[in-house]
Amino acid sequence: MSAKEKEGYAFPQGFVWGTGTSAYQVEGAWDEDGKGESIWDRFSHTPGKIANGDTGDVACDHYRLYPVDVSLAAQLNLNSYRFSIAWPRVQPDGEGAFNEAGMAFYDRLIDELLAKGITPFVTLYHWDLPQALQDQGGWGNRRVTDLFAAYAAKMVERYADRVRFWTTFNEPWCTSHLGHEYGIHAPGLKDPALTRQVAHNLLLSHGKAVQSMRAAAAGLGLTREIEIGIVLNLSITEPLRPDDPADCKLAEDAFKLDCGHYLDPLFRGVYPQVVAQGIGDLQAGDLAQIAQKLDFLGINYYFRNIATAKQGPVHPIAGQEYTQMGWEVNADSLRNLLVRVAGDYPEAPPLYVTENGAAFAESFDTNGQLMPDVRRQAYLESHISAMTRAMQSGVDVRGYFAWSLLDNFEWAEGYARRFGLVYVDFATQKRTIKASGHWFAGVAANNAL
Write out the DSSP string of 76-128: TT-SEEEEE--HHHHSTTSSS---HHHHHHHHHHHHHHHHTT-EEEEEEESS-
12 DSSP assignment:
P
Which of residues 20 and 239 has its CB atom nearest to ligand IFM in the complex? 20
Site residues (CB under 6 A) for ligand IFM, limited to 327-386 = 355
Please work out the total of residues on this chain that contact ligand IFM, with binding judged by CB under 6 A. 8
Question: Catalytic residue positions?
Answer: 171, 355
* Site for ligand IFM contains 300 (CB under 6 A): yes
Interface map 309-328 toward ligand IFM (x if CB under 6 A): --------------------
Which of residues 247 and 410 has its CB atom nearest to ligand IFM in the complex? 410
Q: How far is the CB of 340 from ligand IFM (least distance, A)?
A: 20
User: From residue 122, how far is each of 246, 362, 375 by CA, in Å?
Assistant: 42, 29, 29
Rounded CA-CA distance 164/169 in Å is: 16
Q: Among residues 11, 16, 18, 22, which is the contact residue for ligand IFM, using CB under 6 A? A: 22
* Site for ligand IFM contains 171 (CB under 6 A): yes
Smallest Cα–Cα separation from 87: which of 121, 122, 56?
A: 122
Write out the DSSP string of 295-338: SEEEEE-S--EEE-SSSS---SPTT--B-TTSPBP-THHHHHHH
* Site for ligand IFM contains 128 (CB under 6 A): no
- Cα angle for residues 372, 325, 368 (degrees, 5° grid): 30
Q: Judge whether 234 and 259 are in contact, CB under 8 Å.
A: yes
Which of residues 93 and 355 has its CB atom nearest to ligand IFM in the complex? 355
User: From residue 425, how far is each of 372, 377, 428 by CA, in Å?
Assistant: 16, 20, 6
Q: Judge whether 24 and 89 are in contact, CB under 8 Å.
A: no
* Site for ligand IFM contains 264 (CB under 6 A): no
Q: Among residues 69, 181, 373, 410, which is the contact residue for ligand IFM, using CB under 6 A? A: 410
Interface map 192-211 toward ligand IFM (x if CB under 6 A): --------------------
Q: How far is the CB of 185 from ligand IFM (least distance, A)?
A: 10
* Site for ligand IFM contains 235 (CB under 6 A): no
Which of residues 195 and 300 has its CB atom nearest to ligand IFM in the complex? 300
187 DSSP assignment:
T
Q: Give the binding site for ligand IFM (CB under 6 A).
A: 22, 25, 171, 300, 355, 403, 410, 419
